[in-house]
Structure 1
Amino acid sequence: MLAFLAITVLLPFLASCAKDPTTVCLPDKLQFATFNLNTDVAGVGVIDFTKKIMAMSNPNSTIVQDLAARKIYFKDGKGNCRSIPMPADDVLPQCLPANAVYLGDAAWGFGPNALTEEAWEIPFNGGIMRLLLTNQPGQPRYVMLSKTIDAQGHAETSIYLNPTETITQTNLLTIPDPCPPPTAV
Structure 2
Amino acid sequence: MKFIIFAVLVLPMIIAQTWDPTKVCIPDLFQNDVYDFTKNDYGRAAVDFSKNQSAIAYVKAGFRVVYDLTKQKAYVIGANDSCTVITMTASQNIMKCLPPNAVELNNGSLTIGRVGHGLLMNSYEIPVDQDTKIRLGYTASDPAIPILRQLIGTNSSVAGDVLFFTNPKTSVDADLFVVPTVCPPLGGA
| TM-score, scaled to structure 2 | 0.80
Equivalent of 1:92 in 91, 94, 97 = 94
CA distance in 1, matches of 2:96, 2:134: 14
Pick which of 63-72 and 79-88 moved more.
79-88
Q: Which residue of 2 aligns with 1:50?
A: 50
Relative to 1, partners in 2 of residues 1:26 and 1:148: Cα closer, same or farther, differing over 3 Å?
same
The alpha-carbon deviation at position 34 of structure 1 amounts to 0.1
Confirm or deny: 8 A CA contact 1:123 1:129 kept in the other structure: yes
Structure 2 match to 1:20: 20
Distance 1:150 1:65 in 2: 23
Residue matched to 1:113: 117
Following superposition, the deviation at residue 6 of structure 1 comes to 10
Task: Using the TM superposition, give the Cα deviation of residue 151 of structure 1 relative to its aligned residue in structure 2, in angstroms.
Answer: 6.0
* Root mean square deviation of aligned Cα: 2.7
Q: CA deviation at 1:83?
A: 0.2
Unaligned ranges ≥5, structure 2? none
What residue identity is the alignment partner of 1:132?
G
CA 1:76–1:150 in structure 2 vs 1: closer, same or farther (change >3 Å)?
farther
Partner of 1:29: 29
Cα deviation, residue 84, structure 1: 1.7
For residue 81 of structure 2, the aligned residue among 79, 82, 85 is 79
Segments of 5+ residues of structure 1 without an aligned counterpart are none
Residue 163 of structure 1 corresponds to 168
Secondary structure, aligned partner of 1:155: coil
Residue type of the partner of 1:165? T
The structure that is strand-richer by fraction is 1
Does residue 172 of structure 1 match 2:176?
yes
Aligned to 2:151: 148
- Of all paired residues, the percent bearing the same amino acid is 28
2:87 maps to amino acid = P
Partners in 1 of 2:11 and 2:75 — Cα distance? 47
In structure 2, what is the Cα distance between the partners aligned to 1:18 and 1:118?
16
- Match of 1:79, SS? coil
| SS across alignment from 1:160 | strand
Q: State the 1:68 CA deviation.
A: 2.4
Query: C-alpha distance in 2, partners of 1:26/1:162?
Result: 15
* Count of residue pairs the alignment pairs up: 177
